[in-house]
Each structure stands twice: as structure tokens, then as C-alpha cells.
Amino acid sequence: MVAAPTVCDDLGTSPYTPSETFKLAIPHSCHPTSFVEVPRVWTGLWQLSSPAWGTAPAARIRREMKKHVDKGFVAFAMADHYGSAEQLFGHFRSTLPPAASTRVLGATKWCVFRAPPQGDLSHSYVEEAVRERIKRMRGTSDQGGSGRVDLLQLHWQDYSDKRYLQALHILASLRSSDPYYPSAKADNAVRIGGVGLVNFDTARVDEICTSVGRGVIVTNQVQFSLIDIRPLYGMADVCKRHGVKLLTYGTLCGGFLSDKWLYAPEPNRYHEEPTLRDPLTPSQKKYLDIILSAWGTWALFQQLLVVLRRIGDYHGGVSIANVATRWVLDHDFVGAVIIGARLGVSDNTDDNRAVFGWRLSKDDHAMIANVLQKSGGGELIHTIGDCGAEYR
């Protein structure tokens, strides 16, 4: 008889630990078939990919990572092309005491924007790509040695090249039964705690999970917000059927879903300087284009912000960003929301903590739905395409 999976609490607690977690099927130190309880808000490090989001010294960035961990935000999401994000995270985690280090989860991505020539996608090719991620995140794996990454997510640009299935089967073979246990047969092999996807659409998620088997793919990272509701059209059902949780980004639309933009005049998306004092970030330029070109108008967006502000006031004065995040988290197919952090530039940890401890009521959802039905949000699945289509 196979032992029932156990829930591991090795990520630890602190006085500020967020009260909501979800079970991520990643082997951890307490049991080879365990689930790890991780917070439902993760810290996104994509803003380290460009100085356009602001810059800060590396030491200050690492101090901000420590602040996040101390407040219970122990999960960080990064990628191979997010500048020095992997190295900064790896250096930070390597400075923590062992007990604290095991509390911190690092998720990164292997992004295949251009697939290798036919015949070159070997086991060693995939393993070397994973080994590079591990080395940058300081999971060891130096000079051919062993090492691990907590969650390795695959982005595959060209759907016509079906070798993403081959790559994922190889990644599945690199999963460790227990990456912390000394007898895990590490030898010189790299290890993956869990395998996830990035920006795969509904049809491919279904295809992939059917091919590799249930339980192999644990997450798919896609865009989901009050503005972009595409995951409601097919993706949600597929995730539930295969036991996959969504890690969502774009939930705050680059910060537009916040009190800062309530009653603000429409910014000019074609100029470097908007009507407010700060220049638009790359994310804001992207989401502003969606809001004005596909979703609706700035006036309708202001109606949405007014409703969110009213709901926030009813729930004790929580922010518009909290209400927008809560709306996404209240969907049961969502594991966690990834909120981008401008580490060393701004700090929203205290505000992010306020998303926990309450739920939206039926009346809240009805007020929100009344605005959304006036928008073109339901048509984004056609005007933009399914999840991830905007990157292809």
C-alpha cells in the first residue's frame, strides 16, 4: 500500500505568516510524497529584468527579500531571463541559516524561445538547462555535482514543435523523490522538486497532462485579473480535471488596479510621461493598452475602481489592490497570485498582507460583475487569444 501524502510545514511560521496557504505537490524534507504548504501570495522578480522599473543596490534588494520572508512571503518567482534575479535570490538564500533557508521556495523558468535543432533535445541537453538554473540559484550543482530547484516551469514558444512534450517527460524524470534526504540517490544528477508550465494555453495543458500523467504538472503560470478573465474560459476546467493550480500574474495590471489611479485622468500611453508624476513602467504600458484597446474605456475602468474602493471600505478599509487580488484568489483553481516587487524601490508587503482573513460576499461579486459585463473582458479570449497567446 502506498503511504498517503503528508503535509509538510517545514516552510515554518513567523508572527506575520499569511493565514492562507495552498498545498503544492513538491517533495520536501519530511516525506518523499509530501505536499508543501506555501502562501497564496508570491513575490515576482520580473522587475529585476530592466532598470525601467527602478534600480537599487544588490545589498538593498537582498535586505528587502529578507523583509518579505520575515513577513511570511517565502515564495519567490523568477526566470532565466529576468536579469540577475536568480543570482540575487540564490545569494540571499545562501546567507540564511539552514532552518530558515528551507522555509524559502524559489520557482524559476526555463524559457525555450528558440528550440534546438531536431535531434539535439537530449536528456543531457535538458539536464544542462536545469543545472544552469540551479547554479545561478546556488542550489549547488557545481562542476557536474548534484543540486535542486524547487519548482522548474517551462515556457515553450513554438507550439508547432511538439518537442515540448519530450522536454517535459525529461523534466519529469528529474523530479526528486526527496531532494533533502541524504539517500535520495543524488549521485551527479540534478533534481527538480516540481514541474510547472508558463503561458501554455488550455488545449496544450490538457495535452501535456494527458501525456505525462496526472500529478506531474503542478502549476501553470498565466495572466488573470479583473481585466483579463481568459482563464475562466476552459483553463479553469482543465486545471481542475488534472489537479493543476494556476499561478497568476498581472493581477493588479501593473498597478493600475490600485488606489493611486482612482479618479486619475487617463494617461497618454504614447508618451514617456503620463499625467501623474511617475513614468509608466513597461507593465503599465502593456496593461493600459489592453484596458483601452480591448477591455473598454478609461471611464469604465474608473467605474470599476470606484466599486472596488466601495467594497474595500466595507471590508475595513482594505485597498483596491487587496480587493482585486482577493477576487482572483477566491477562484478555487488558483493556487497563488504573484505580485511583482520593485525590491529596494518600493515596499507593499504590509498592504499585501491585508488580502488575507476575509472573502468577497455575493453582493461584492454582483457589484463587480455589474461593471465587468459592460466591458469587453469576455471577448479577450477571441481578440487576444487563449492564455499566453499574447506572447506568441
Residue-wise pLDDT tens digits, 306-327? 999 999 999 999 999 999 999 9
From the CA atom positions of the chain, what is the Rg in Å? 21
Q: How many residues does the chain have?
A: 392
H helix or E strand, kind and range, residue 288: helix 282-290
What total of structural domains would you count in the chain?
A: 1
Residue-wise pLDDT tens digits, 99-122? 888 889 999 999 999 988 887 899
144 is a domain residue = yes
pLDDT band, residue 16 (cuts 50/70/90):
very low
Residue-wise pLDDT tens digits, 121-137? 999 999 999 999 998 88
Among 31-40, 200-209, 233-242, the least confident range: 31-40
Task: Give the pLDDT of residue 233.
Answer: 95
Task: Give the pLDDT of residue 65.
Answer: 87
109 is a domain residue = yes
pLDDT at residue 245 is higher than 50: yes
Q: What is the DSSP code string of 187-237? A: TT-EEEEEEEEES--HHHHHHHHHHH-TTTEEEEEEE-SSS--GGGTTHHH
Residue-wise pLDDT tens digits, 259-280? 999 999 999 866 555 455 567 8
Average pLDDT along the chain: 85
Residue-wise pLDDT tens digits, 353-378? 999 999 999 999 999 999 999 999 99
Task: Give the pLDDT of residue 45.
Answer: 87
Domain that holds residue 31: 21-256+319-358
H helix or E strand, kind and range, residue 352: helix 349-353
For the beta sheet containing 7-8, the strands, ordered from the edge strand earlier in sequence to the opposite edge, are 7-8, 35-39, 21-24
272 is a domain residue = no
pLDDT at residue 146 is higher than 90: no
383 is a domain residue = no
**Alpha-carbon distances of 168 from 43, 103, 130, 178, 236, rounded to whole Å:** 25, 27, 12, 19, 21
Task: Give the pLDDT of residue 322.
Answer: 98
308 is a domain residue = no
Cα within 13 Å of Cα(352), Cβ side: 28
pLDDT band, residue 240 (cuts 50/70/90):
very high
DSSP at 8: E
283 is a domain residue = no
Task: Give the pLDDT of residue 147.
Answer: 62
| pTM, rounded to two decimals | 0.88
| CATH code at position 79 | 3.20.20.100
301 is a domain residue = no
Task: Give the pLDDT of residue 56.
Answer: 63
pLDDT at residue 253 is higher than 60: yes
Among 21-25, 223-227, 238-242, the least confident range: 21-25
**48 grid coordinates:** 529585476
385 is a domain residue = no
